Structure formats: structure tokens, C-alpha cells
Amino acid sequence: MRLGQAISSLLTEYGISQIFGIPGVHTLELFRDIDRSGLNVTIPRHEQGAAFMADAYTRVSGTPGVCYLITGPGVLNALTPIGQAWHDSIPMLVIGSTVTREQLGAHRGTLHDTPDLAEVLRPFTLFSETVTTAERVSELIDEAFTRWQHERSRPVYIGIPRDLLEEEVGELHRPASSPSLAPAAPPTPQLTEELKRLAAATSPVIIAGGGARHDGAAVQAFAERLAAPVILTGNAKGLLPEAHPLNAGISMPFPRTQELVSAADLVVGLGTELSDFEVLFTGTAEPQMADILRVDIDPTVSHPDQTRPTLALRVGAFIEAALAALPAPDTAASAAGTARAAAARAGLAAERAADPHTPWIDAVAAALPGDAILTADSAQVAYQAHHFLPLDSPGRWLAPYGYGTLGPALPMAIGAAIAAPDTPVVALAGDGSALFTLPELATAQDLGANITFLIWDNGGYREIEVSFARTDIRPAGVRTTAQDLGMIAAGFGAAVTTPATPAELTEALRAATAEPGLSVIVVQAPAEHRVEADALQEGTPA
């Protein structure tokens, strides 16, 4: 057995059944007899697509996505989605080939040679290493799966010289017991002190992020015990039921919620960096926070208003301790918490009513099957859906929060569809972002899954055009109108519709999600969505 085969066999012992990647002359051994190993292989049309697919596959399945990538350009093509996975704390195993061991560091112009790929990827990974022995490959794979259980998850890169992949080796096996790594736990005095602060708070607010996405029931119980409104970040969308009286929604940019946060005597951050992304695209500033209790498995990140160390603990473990220590709230406290959350929701509702995208977002909501998964791009309509599209369960909204990549929606929809083959998946993108990864329509068509690609066509990069307008700079380089997206999609074999009204969009989306197969829906943005940017483009006040 050659090392490439042994790696595929070893991965199945860790529960891996899916690989994303494009075979190349340096990675042939990774694909030798791969169909006999129990691994399914999805071939994207670009390595960027492979890693975006692996990201979404991980989020939906709970199993780390794995990429097999070729030396140099193949690995570097995937760097953007690897960066996204790093930013959103997604475990991903990237196995890439390198030049031969003899050629490492020689820089003799060898095919695909790149100066120290492991060093290039190190800032975006939990660890990154080029190996020179088969034993080290096995050790690093086990280290990755072990550390993902106990640390903040990040991608891992393992570079393997192509001559090593060709080497005859014995079978590789998962160790009977992996090295013992204690889960992150704060000193008892720190936890005790923070629980005292919680008990003393009279107007607390909870901000729940992606690190809490698997703890929805616990967060709900904690909020009810604390009588605290819960503000969600994008990566926690659906964590609480929409109708829960303490759910303040994804509303951080809006005035009522900013007032709520500023008035709180304690802001409890659960699995969130408390980053500025939640207000970035609205032109508003972050609210001042009087006091912060941040609970996160990663203690190295802190907020500027944070005066005490992060409580380095998983959200679920912290809530378990808090529920054991905190008394139930009295009637007055419960009523006050509910009223504060209601005020924030009223502010969110007012913003929703005033936004011109809302009828279209409502049209999407009306058509979605109850279990549908949505993948969102960096696009104007997706930013609004981030706040205004109702979802009652977590894990159904996958988006490039924070890193802000363009083009992930379609390949992430493919990864999600592979992870949940019986679930309709809807990708939501703008025309500008769709063009970044449009060739993955071919991959989606090959897959035959129930994937609908909904494209909001506003003639270019309208969100950037609006940003120009807000900054009083004449727009430049934001109009792209050469393409006919419907014609392109039809060329890939997709069923194409072009609804002109919200009602037609609901009808088209219902039909598309009802049956397996690739559908593309192109919506031309109405004229009222273009007023602000058009006014500045013409030289008049916006």
C-alpha cells in the first residue's frame, strides 16, 4: 500500500467519508483506489470551490471537511476559503502535495514549486506543517482531530512531498487512545467571581455568537434564568425561536438595540468576539458597553471595553455552572427583561418595515421549506436577510461573516447538499459575487441535488456603490452588466426563472425547492433599490 492510499484509509477511522479536490499530477497517489476506501470524492471546478464546499459540509454535518489539493497553485487557490474557515472557527483538514523531499527549499523552478507553503498557511491554521515521514502524517492527523475536541477549531494544513505519497508503507491506523488534552477550564476562583457578578447584575444583556450555535436550549434556559434579552450575531442566527420573548434578534446596528446594550450594567458575550462586523455595513458605531463578561473557549481575544479576562470555557459548561448557581428571577425582573427585549424587537421591526428589500425577503421566507438550508454571499440582499429573514433553528444559515468573502454561496450550497442530501438548499448571492464562483454550477449539476441559486442582479457591486455614496466619493468600478446570468445558467443545464415581483419569486422558489435538481432564479433589482447610489453617480446629493 502506498502512503496516498494509506491516508485515505486512515481518514475513514476518524469518521471521514467525503473528500473535496481536483486531482493533479502531484496528488495522483491520494486518489489511487479511493473509491475502494469508502470515501466519496466531489470534484469542484476550482480549488476555491473545494474549500468553500468543505466549510459548509463541516457546518452542516458536524464532521470536519477534508480537501486534497495539489502543490502550489492548488493550495493557494483555496487560501481565501481557508481564511474564512479560520475566521469562523471551522475545522477543516487540508492535505496538499509538495515537491519532492530533495526539491524542498531548492527553488530550482520545479513544477508548482512554492516557497514554504506551510509557512504561508500558518497564520490561517491551527497548525501547518510539511512532513517528511509517513509516521508524521499519522501523528498530525491524530493531533488535528484531538485538538479540535478541546480548542477553538481552525483549519489544519499538512503538506506531503509527492515522492513520499508514492512510498510503499504499512497500513496507518488511528491510535487506540489519543493524547489526553484537558478541555479549557478557568480557575475556580475566576468562575466563582464571574457568577457573583452575574447574580448582582440588574439589567444584563446577552450577546450570543457562533461559539454558542450548538447550545440553543442552554442559552434559552440561561436567558430565562437571568431575565436577559438575547442579541444574536449572524453565526448564531436561529439559535432562539423567533417568537421567544427574550429574543432581540440580529439587531446590533439599530438604535433601540444600541440603547439596550449601552444601558446594560453587564453584557454577557457567549461564544462571540464581540466584533464590529455586526454594525459594519450600516454606518453606525459599536455601542459602549459598561461591563463585559465574555465566555469563550479562546481567551486570547478581548473587546476594547473588556476590563476582565475572558472566561476560558465552553458556552455549555459555563451555562451549566450558572444555572446551578443563580436563583430564578422574580416576576418584576422577568417582566423587565421581556420589556427590554420587546423594545429592541420593535426597533428591528421598524427597520424591517422601512427597508425596500423586505417584500423580497418575505417572498423567500414564504417559499422556504421548514428544513431548508440557506447559504448567503456577501451581497446587498443577503445583508438585509441577515437581519430580517426569520429562522427558528440554528445551522440553517451559512454565511461568510467577518471575513466577508465574495463567491461562497454556490460552493457552500454544494457542500451543504452533500452533508444533507434530502434537504433543499438555497444559495443567495448578488450578481457581482455570483461571478466569483459561477463555474461551480457544473459541480451542482453533476451532483443532482436539490440546489436553488437565487441571484439578486443589481448591475454590479451595489453595496460598494452605496458605501461610496455614504462617504461622499463618486463611485468607480462598481457597474458590471456584460453578462446574462440566466443564459449562462441555462448553459450549465439549470432550470432558469426570472420572476419580476415578490409573488412570482415565491412561486418560483416553491417550485424550485420541491424537486431535486439545479435551479437558478435571477431577480432584477427594482429601480427603487438604486436611487441612493444613482443620485451620487449623477453628481447630485444622495
Residue 180 has pLDDT above 80, yes or no: no
How far apart CA 459 and CA 430 sit, in angstroms, is 9
Q: What is the pLDDT of residue 529?
A: 62
Residue-wise pLDDT for 25-57, tens only, equals: 999 999 999 988 899 999 999 999 999 999 999
CATH of domain 188-351: 3.40.50.1220
Residue-wise pLDDT for 57-104, tens only, equals: 999 999 999 999 999 999 999 999 999 999 999 999 999 999 988 888
Domain ranges of the chain: 3-165, 188-351, 355-537
Q: Pick the range with the lowest mean pLDDT from 65-74, 112-121, 439-448.
A: 112-121
| Contact partners, residue 128, CB within 8 Å, separation at least 6 | 118, 119, 121, 122, 156, 157, 158, 159
Q: What is the pLDDT of residue 128?
A: 98
Homologous superfamily of domain range 355-537: Thiamin diphosphate (ThDP)-binding fold, Pyr/PP domains (3.40.50.970)
CATH topology of domain 3-165: Rossmann fold (3.40.50)
Report the run of H or E that residue 155 belongs to, with start and end: strand 155-161
Averaged pLDDT, 503-524: 97
50 close to 78: Cβ distance less than 8 angstroms = yes
Q: What is the pLDDT of residue 44?
A: 98
Q: What is the pLDDT of residue 536?
A: 47
Residue 542 has pLDDT above 50, yes or no: no
Residue 185 has pLDDT above 60, yes or no: no
The C-alpha cell at 342 is: 420587546
Residue 5 has pLDDT above 60, yes or no: yes
DSSP secondary structure letter of residue 168: B
Chain-centre distance for alpha carbon 120:
22
Identical topology for domains 3-165 and 355-537: yes
The C-alpha cell at 44 is: 469542484
pTM reported for the whole predicted model: 0.93
DSSP secondary structure letter of residue 303: -
The three-class DSSP label of residue 530 is helix
